[in-house]
Amino acid sequence: MRAREGQTADETAVPAEELCIRRGLRDVRVDRVTSISREDLASSYLEGDGRPVILTGVMQQWPAMTKWNFDFFREKYGEDVVLVADKLAGATEIKETHLSTYLDYIEDKRHTWLKHCELDTPWYLGFYKPLAMHPELMEDFTEPECLDNWCRYLEGEMADWYRMGFGWIFIGPGGTYTRPHPDLFATHAWLAQLVGRKTYFLSEPLDDPQRISTLTEKDFFQVDLEPGEFLLLPANWIHGAVSHAPSITLSFNFVNQRNFSRFMKTICRDADRWRSMTRFVGEKVDPAKMTAELSAFAPGRK
């Protein structure tokens, strides 16, 4: 087996299913399909709790596949003010910096300003949502039709609000860590891997969200996402991630016929929380306030 970038010699010697067992994870495979119709996606992967699937043939024509790299972001958007976290989903520390400073840090983790991180995981650019501010980025990719994303019918200000609130570009060095969590408001999510390899840890939706703190390794299975691969996560699936190399992931949360009812239910029930979440409005955020809000928002997440 050939070693892939960021993979240790130890990992290359062991088949994936054996690695799962060695780590105490479940041996569950995630389907990989080149492309799929809207009807087949809905019936095979979004019925009930659904199950994750990787689409391998939807990103090849995206300009982002060749254009988006660290130099591109430094040159065009280096001045952007961004927030970086010690880990995602339950961050304990968030710092504000310029995108260019953070990209320097990815290149050379000894960068003085960002040197300190309490954990042994590196700083992660996990709250970067530039797609409304820099709408030209939207021309660099096309969301597959089969998702049937109802949010694409939003117009004008609402389309901007959607891009700003639900479109993410995750950038980081190897070793970034996202704690297992379900995404907000029962949205489905897609994660398109553009640069670097990531491992996602996955577990079925929980009847009682508080149970997340009791999950252990044996509740999860893993899947590796390579550049050019597109992971679809149905609503409420628990997911965490580790990057193995400097990485760029484009991600959107969305709603379609399969989760619309659950989405409406959570936003009715959690309307105050919805309004107060700084990540859903355009105002300038205070990192300390955001750290507090995020931890209040995720009781039970460690």
Q: Which residues would be at the binding site for ligand AKG (CB under 6 A)?
A: 88, 126, 170, 178, 183, 191, 198, 239, 241, 249
According to the binding rule CB under 5 A, does residue 240 interact with Fe ion? no
Lookup: tokens for 174:
């190897």
Rounded least distance, CB 187 to Fe ion, Å: 9
The backbone torsions φ and ψ at residue 199, rounded to the nearest 5 degrees and listed phi first, read -110, 130
CB atoms near residue 300 (< 10 Å): 13
Element spanning 180, H or E: strand 177-181
How many Cα atoms sit within 13 Å of 262 on the Cβ side?
A: 20
Range 125-164, binding Fe ion (CB under 5 A): none
User: Taking CB positions, which residue lies at the least distance from Fe ion?
Assistant: 183
x/- map, 162-201, Fe ion, by CB under 5 A: ---------------------x------------------
Rounded least distance, CB 117 to ligand AKG, Å: 16
Cβ closest to ligand AKG, residue 126 vs residue 227? 126
CB atoms near residue 135 (< 10 Å): 12
Element spanning 201, H or E: strand 198-203
Cβ closest to ligand AKG, residue 244 vs residue 258? 244
Closest among 171, 165, 126 to 252, alpha carbons compared: 165
According to the binding rule CB under 5 A, does residue 86 interact with Fe ion? no
Cβ closest to ligand AKG, residue 38 vs residue 206? 206
Cβ closest to ligand AKG, residue 74 vs residue 198? 198
Rounded least distance, CB 40 to ligand AKG, Å: 25
Rounded least distance, CB 228 to ligand AKG, Å: 15
Count of residues near Fe ion by CB under 5 A: 1
Please give the torsion angle defined by the CA atoms of residues 273, 278, 279 and 282, in that order, rounded to the nearest 10 degrees. Answer: 130
Q: 181 and 298 in contact (C-beta within 8 Å)?
A: yes
Rounded least distance, CB 113 to ligand AKG, Å: 23
156: left (phi > 0), else alpha (psi -120 to 50), else beta? left
From the list Fe ion, ligand AKG, none, partner contacted by residue 83 (C-beta under 5 to 8 A by kind): none
The backbone torsions φ and ψ at residue 31, rounded to the nearest 5 degrees and listed phi first, read -65, 145
Element spanning 70, H or E: helix 70-77
Rounded least distance, CB 9 to ligand AKG, Å: 25
Question: Contact positions toward Fe ion, by CB under 5 A?
Answer: 183
